[in-house]
Structures are given as C-alpha cells and as structure tokens.
Amino acid sequence: MIEISLKEVEETLIKVALRIAKRGEGALFVVGEVDYDVLVDQTVPPFKAMNNPKLLESLALIDGAVILDFDGTMKAYGAMIKTNSIMRNFGTRHSAATTASKNKDNLVVLVSEEDKKIRVLKEGQVIMQIDSLQRGVEKSIPLAVQVLESIGAGTLGTIGTGILVPSLGIALLPGVILFGSAYYLGKLISQRFNTGITSFLSME
C-alpha cells in the first residue's frame, strides 16, 4: 500500500485551484473534519484526488465545498459548511473557509472568483495567498508547499484585514505571499536561508 503524504495532497489542491482561479471561477477545498450538509446527490464515489485531479476540478465547480480526508480521499462535494464566522467584506465562501479552518488540524484552500487569488487557511487565518495571474507562478507551487510543510500551523497569521495587501505580508516566491507578524516573518526568512529556498528572494 502506497502512503500518501499531506504534502502531495496540498500540492494537488493548489494546482487544481490555480486552474480554477485562472478561469475566474471560485472553489473551496477542506482537508480534515468539518460539520457540513450536502447540497447535491453524491453520485461520484470517493476517490484519491491525486489520481484524478480533473474530476476533482469538475466537482469543485459545483456550488459548495469539496471535503477530503488527510490522505487525499474525496469524501463529499457540493457541501455546505455549517459556518459560525463571518469574514467582513467577503462572501459566504470566505466565511465557510474561515470556519472550516478553525479545526486545528484542518487545511483549507479557497479560490476567489473576484480577484483570481488562492488563499490557504489554517486555524482560522489566511497564511498564504497565491496570485494565479502572476507570470510563472506554477513554478513556485512545489516550494510554496514546502514552506507550508516546514513552518507549522501556528507560525503565520493575518494582520487584520490586510490579506489583500502585499506590503503587510512577505513575498518569498513569485506570486506567493505569506502573512504574519514581523517577528515570525523575520524568523521565517532565517529558516529559508538555512534551507536554500531564499534563492527565490532575488527573483523580482
């Protein structure tokens, strides 16, 4: 039996999200446990997202969220997240994403149709934003996933409503912005020097 890592799941989701964002459509992926109701008949049986990303993409375009296990198995689609949070100045998809990400172990990937950006959330906060329109952003994805894996859930967080303002985050990779306090950003830069990822810092 081949063991699937969360890193593979994250990379698959972000690649699928990029294709959706480039077309100006929205989507929501939740990896982990969350309360939800299904809005459509579940005629597609569970499958591994990594084995069929095109099917995953099609299901993500249905109203509602796609729910996955940590091993990348699609559990439900067209799911309505039972929200308990409202994200000011954003729609219901963002509110659902915030609620779903509050479970400590969950990872949420949100695709915004308004600005064609992808936001990765953990513990109720946006920790990464990816601009689908940035030239060459696809090349940043493997390293962006590596950053997600290495920094830990509690290291980064948003600064108020500044999730759309690059000056309040730090761009370590083309098209990818990380959010957090100055202390943690400084710590992160130090980590990147130690891992060699900072070679991307000069790519401006």
Residue 153 confidence (pLDDT) above 90:
no
Going across the sheet that includes 27-31, the strands are 36-38, 74-81, 65-68, 27-31, 107-111, 117-122, 125-131, 176-179, 169-173
In the structure, what pLDDT confidence band is assigned to residue 191 with cuts at 50, 70 and 90?
Answer: low
Residue 69: partners with Cβ closer than 8 Å, 6 or more residues away: 31, 75
Q: 14-36, pLDDT tens digit by residue?
A: 999 999 999 999 999 999 999 99
Which of 11, 95, 27 minimizes the C-alpha distance to 67? Answer: 27
Residue 138 confidence (pLDDT) above 60:
yes
Q: 73-100, pLDDT tens digit by residue?
A: 999 999 999 987 666 666 789 889 999 9
CA distance 68 to 63: 16
192 vs 50, which has greater pLDDT?
50
In which residue are the tokens 């130690």 written? 194
CA distance 118 to 27: 9
pLDDT of the residue at 145:
82
Residue 109 confidence (pLDDT) above 90:
yes
The torsion angles phi and psi of 36, rounded to 5 degrees, stand at -155, 160
Residue 74: partners with Cβ closer than 8 Å, 6 or more residues away: 44, 46, 47, 48, 49, 56, 59, 66, 67, 68
pTM (predicted TM-score)? 0.79
Reported CATH class of domain 6-202: alpha beta
How high does pLDDT run on average in the chain?
78
The mean per-residue pLDDT over the stretch 145-152 comes to: 67
Q: CA separation (Å) from 87 to 13, 48, 124, 191, 199?
A: 23, 31, 10, 31, 35
Q: 113-135, pLDDT tens digit by residue?
A: 989 999 998 888 888 889 998 88
